[in-house]
């Protein structure tokens, strides 16, 4: 079994994965899942034996790398792939000059997952696409 996580220009595959997880599984309205940031974001794609199994994006603004749209297909959940995707996003952020912190909006059920990866929650709980979230930050 081979796993690779790399920066990609294959936005169509990333969007297909996101549609499967966010729209089909979680009920996020399709018009909220895709946004203008996709055009300028750095996208990462995880392939397991050549098949797409996860994706995430990083949007760089000022000194912050905003990690988002992190998803893993059902068949690959519980394998550690989510953590590897976040670590790859953090590594991409660390390679970018001037970036001092990584930020993300975590679904509240996933806060413990992100805490294990060094993120700290801050601020109030808020709704994003009808799902409770909380902001989290990690210094780089």
Question: pTM for the complete prediction?
Answer: 0.93
Distance CA 137, CA 140 (A): 10
pLDDT tens, residue by residue, 68-111: 999 999 999 999 999 999 999 999 999 999 999 999 999 999 99
Mean pLDDT, residues 116-140 taken together: 96
Show the domains of the chain with their CATH numbers: 3-139 (3.40.630.30)
Distance CA 88, CA 47 (A): 13
Mean pLDDT, residues 59-72 taken together: 97
Distance CA 66, CA 101 (A): 9
């Amino acid at each position: 079994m081979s796993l690779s996580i790399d920066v990609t220009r294959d936005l169509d595959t990333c969007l297909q994965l996101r549609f499967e997880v966010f729209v089909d599984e979680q009920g996020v309205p399709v018009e909220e899942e895709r946004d203008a940031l996709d055009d300028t974001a750095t996208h990462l794609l995880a392939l397991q034996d050549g098949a797409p199994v996860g994706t995430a994006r990083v949007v760089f603004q000022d000194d912050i790398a905003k990690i988002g749209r992190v998803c893993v297909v059902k068949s690959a959940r519980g394998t550690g792939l989510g953590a590897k995707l976040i670590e790859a996003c953090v590594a991409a952020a660390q390679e970018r000059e001037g970036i001092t912190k990584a930020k993300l909006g975590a679904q509240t059920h996933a806060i413990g997952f992100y805490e294990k990866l060094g993120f700290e929650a801050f601020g109030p709980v808020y709704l994003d696409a009808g799902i409770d979230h909380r902001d989290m930050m990690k210094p780089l």
